Amino acid sequence: MIDPFQPFEWALAHGRTLTLGPRGLLMAIINVTPDSFSDGGVYNDTEAAVSQGLRCLEDGAAILDIGGESTRPGAAAVTAAQEQDRVLPVIAALASQTDAIISVDTYRAETARLAIAAGAHIVNDVHGLQREPDLADVAATTGAGLCIMHTGRDREKRADVVDDQYHFLERSLEIAAAAGVQRDRIVLDPGFGFAKDTDENVALMARFDELFGFGMPLLAGTSRKRFIGAITGREAQERDAGTAATTALLRMAGAAVFRVHNVAINRDALLVADAMLASKRHVTGTPGKDNQP
């Protein structure tokens, strides 16, 4: 178990680090795709994607997550070359124009290697190293930060939502360890929305503290997900308020990083949640005392 509010130095590529724990950090979603579920086609060229990245930094993003293949159910597959043509120019431009921490959203080892060479610091794998395990070798040799996500797609899930997290992610961590990835380079993502229905997503939020048994910081990616629409009745582009609610709730539960489309509204949600956590620290003398598992 860890105290999720204590400082954790996340070691990244190119000698960079991020301090996780004492305050929530935002990872901005930059989809360089024509078919992502809520913003497909909006930033589907290098200039538009770079401009959006710069806006997200101004709004308070700590990380820019650049993706070139939609992960929505039923999305058209892209080749490695197509993915790389989309993301590498954006990463290179942002790396040359800013000192931003940049993440590449890919499960492909070769895309990850090229992205890090272009200036990326983090690899965000929605398949948890279990589609292309060689990606772990890339992370180990480059020193990249690694976000390992849980997914329930294309396999038989266990009945209990938290049990399934441990079943899947423990295998991912075995792959990372075998490749030599140090634990201070890993953040885990429970994969809200990935083959999980509304009840499972809500249960995962309610039981979030049980995931600190991994002993690692956690990233929450609820932004505009279908379960928020099921609860609020809103279409994808109208789910930012619902997303901000989950951001505040999960921050109070100990999440460290929040992957979002709308940085500004989630920045405000985090400021409120972190102010409450600071007040609790002042009263109890222990960061997040009442939130520890």
Query: Could you give the residue numbers annotated as active site?
Result: 225, 259
Q: Is 34 exposed, middle or buried (0-12, 13-18, 19+ CB in 10 A)?
A: middle
Q: In the 8-state DSSP scheme, what is residue 218?
A: B
CA distances from 223 to 3, 54, 117, 150, 260 (A): 25, 20, 29, 16, 5
Name the residue among 249, 154, 167 with its Cα closest to residue 194. 154
The per-residue b/e assignment along 42-73, b for 16 or more CB within 10 angstroms, e otherwise, is: bbbebeebbebbbebbeebbbbbbbbbbbbee
Place of tokens 């953040």: 187
Mode of pairing for the β-strands spanning 8-11 and 17-20: antiparallel
Gyration radius of the chain over CA positions: 18
Helix (H, G, I), strand (E, B) or coil at 52: helix
